[in-house]
Amino acid sequence: QVDLVESGGGSVQAGGSLKLSCVVSGAPLSTIYMAWFRQVPGKEREGVAYISTSGDFTLYMDSVKGRFTISRDNAENTLSLQMNNLKPEDTAIYYCAGARAPNKFWGYSGQYNYWGQGTQVTVSS
């Protein structure tokens, strides 16, 4: 059984920073493609950032490019999301997700096999 546990959420003012972490257990992180998603009540879950198994390839949604950085430490089985210059529209529940063999657009949530429980990020203006 693969488990994902997020931490690092919280409340910050606009312009502030937060770093989310996701610890993976039950399988070597190096075998799993990873991503961060977020969801606002009443809206669909959307892909925020994606990282390949080795960490040498990343993708971001347009609105976070230049502000967010996804990274992974396979030796520590940890995925991270550094979020800088946060904006009120970044407020959401953030989820880490893992896929064994993604073959569709990286932001398609249906292809991810594993999900964390989510962590709340609130940005006030």
Contact (Cβ atoms closer than 8 angstroms) between residue 70 and residue 22: no
Check the CA dihedral 124-98-74-5 and report its sign. positive
* Mean pLDDT value of segment 99-125: 95
Q: What's the pLDDT tens digit per position in 33-66?
A: 999 999 999 999 999 999 999 999 999 999 999 9
Contact (Cβ atoms closer than 8 angstroms) between residue 106 and residue 59: yes
Report the amino acid identity of residue 97.
A
Contact (Cβ atoms closer than 8 angstroms) between residue 89 and residue 103: no
Q: Tell which residue, 39, 49, 122, has the closest CA to residue 81.
A: 49
Half-sphere exposure of 24 (CA within 13 A, CB side): 27
Alpha-carbon 44 to chain mean position: 15
8 backbone dihedrals φ, ψ, rounded to 5°: 105, -5
Q: What's the pLDDT tens digit per position in 10-37?
A: 999 999 999 999 999 999 999 999 999 9
Q: What's the pLDDT tens digit per position in 72-100?
A: 999 999 999 999 999 999 999 999 999 99
